[in-house]
Chains A and B, each alone.
Chain A
Amino acid sequence: MIRRRDAAILAFLFLCGLAAAWQFAKWNDARFNTPERVAQRLVNSSLKDDLCKRVIADISRFKEAPRTFRRTSLQSIENESRAGLRFLLKSKGVPEDFPIEYKGEKTPYMACLDDVQTWVNIPSAGSQSLADELAALDISNESVRGKTSSASAVPSTEPGRLALIIGNSKYRNRPLLNPQNDADDMSTFLRRSGFTVIDLRDGNLKDMQAAISDFTEQLKSARAGFVYYSGHGVEHRGWNYLLPVDVQINEEDDIPRQALDASTLVESVSKAERKVNIFVIDACRSNFIPSRQRSASQGLAKMDGLSGTIVAFSTAPGKEAEDGNGRNSPYTKSLLQAMAVPGRKIEDVFKDAARKVEIETAGRQIPWYNSSLLVDWSIH
């Protein structure tokens, strides 16, 4: 048996431990919970909650009116949040001159990353580009992909979705403004939608062939392939060619030697046994061939793929496409907006994009696509 005196000593020491811990907690509280720190924590938590609420509210409004709703920019939403919180924080004892700046985790959107992912896909009325907004959010694709939510319409990361994105702007003759931006934005979008992306910017013929070779090799183990080309393209004797940036065409017979045969690309990619192959060619923005040497009509020729393939052009066969005055070409801008709607079938995406481009260009440009898909498929 334990002696009564020993039991009393043990009980006393137990209480001493309790008291010491209590004193330590008080000291720690006095040290770390200064009024400034308390106010900053309040600001951080309020900003986090409010920003997420605003993002979720925007998503709801977008779902109610997907065709008309435009979200504001990231900067605007943060400014609105700060202004709205000023009174609330003052009522909670935060001094009026205390700066409402988030000084917490990496991003105040950590609690609603999935929603933010959906939100940035909503067409924006703000001046910030998608790439700038993503940079401002400081959210990596991996951190977004690491979290999933059944409640929100976040793109799924289906294994085996591979994309090849080519953007050629810096041509020796007739450089273009937007293909690089188009390719960047398309690449960002597809990455966020779960694609593994092979990127090529301003590639010469060798680079393009290497990228396509790499793509077709990796595609063997993929279930869906997406090829996007933005740059100059020409039709020559019924065949379509994608032009590398170093192309130097003096006569039309130079085209097959210096350019990439689009039909061969489509055939080689769509031969493999996959459910879905998508080719988007935003080319033919202005005729690249000097008119005195031009025998073919302007624009590209029709192209067909094997079964399970969609071939989409930024304009109808034989017509020219516009490069656009903004950051993106009209076709890519419309396509990105149409693709951002979650759960939409890919055919509906191209139809919607075509309608938007037709309206924007007052009928001068009517996108065209040819589908032989055997299954329903969506980007998200």
Chain B
Amino acid sequence: MSFNINPPDWLRWILLPVASIGTYVVANFLVGIVGSLLDFLSRSPWGSNFSTHVVAPGIAGYSAIAVIDSVAPAGRASAALAVAGCWMFVFGAATFFAFLNPSWATFLPIIFSVVGLVNGLMGVNDSNRQLVPL
């Protein structure tokens, strides 16, 4: 059983920011939950802070750009750069507000989201895969 959904290009362009934001939120949530659970089960000395503030934002940032690879109908590298630019604008603003009430818990997720974002962007740029229908 396979799904071969091939929405029109205009719909894919519209879905692009939604998919990126949705992926960031869902990935952040899921990885945070899984990380906390694993930390709890393994009694990790890192504690759940590591997964919540470092791993989850990193993976979420990466996923938010990586998803563009699947959704963008054409010019994936440029699309990914544009979406990454929007994210950088958001994280720039978030950094300003983080400075108003500075703490490691506000800065770490921003930093690792940006790191994940840049990594995701590098992956898209290096990709030579053909466009795969959704």
**A contact residues vs B (CB 8 Å cutoff):** 1-3, 6, 9-11, 13-22, 24-25
Contacts and interface: CB of A to CB of B under 8 A. Distances in A.
Contact of B92 (A2, A9, A16): A16
14 contacts: A1-B122, A2-B118, A6-B81, A6-B121, A10-B84, A10-B88, A10-B121, A13-B85, A13-B92, A18-B96, A21-B92, A21-B94, A21-B97, A25-B100
A25 B91 CA distance: 16
Contacts of A13: 85-86, 88-89, 92
Given A2-B125, A10-B118, A13-B88, A20 B93 contact: yes
B85 A18 contact: no
B96 A25 contact: yes
A21 B96 CA distance: 6
Given A2-B125, A6-B81, A10-B85, A18 B92 contact: yes
Contacts of B84: 10
Q: How large is the interface on B (under 10, 10 to 19, 20 to 34, 35 or more residues)?
A: 20 to 34
Interface string B119-134: 0011001100000000
B95 interface: yes
Given A10-B88, A24-B93, A25-B97, 8 more contacts: A3-B125, A6-B125, A10-B118, A11-B88, A17-B96, A21-B94, A21-B95, A21-B96
B85 to A, nearest CB: 5
B91 A9 contact: no
> Which 3 residue pairs of A and B lie closest in terms of their CB atoms, listed nearest first?
A17-B92, A21-B96, A21-B93
B15 interface: no
Interface string B10-27: 000000000000000000
Nearest to B98: A21
B122 to A, nearest CB: 5
A197 to B, nearest CB: 44
B92 A15 contact: yes
A22 B85 contact: no
A14 B118 contact: no
Interface of B: 81, 84-86, 88-97, 100, 114, 118, 121-122, 125-126
Contacts of A21: 92-97
A10 to B, nearest CB: 5
B5 to A, nearest CB: 31
A16 to B, nearest CB: 6
Contacts of B122: 1-2
B89 A16 contact: yes
Contacts of A14: 88-89, 91-92, 95, 114
A371 B105 CA distance: 60
B76 to A, nearest CB: 13
A10 B84 CA distance: 7
Contacts of B114: 14
A3 B77 CA distance: 11
Nearest to B95: A18
A7 to B, nearest CB: 8
A11 B114 CA distance: 11
Contacts of B89: 13-14, 16-17, 20
A14 B94 CA distance: 10
Contacts of B86: 13
A73 to B, nearest CB: 41
A18 B88 CA distance: 10
A25 B84 CA distance: 24
Most buried by A among B84, B91, B96, B97: B96
A6 B88 CA distance: 12
A33 to B, nearest CB: 14
A234 B25 CA distance: 75
A27 to B, nearest CB: 13
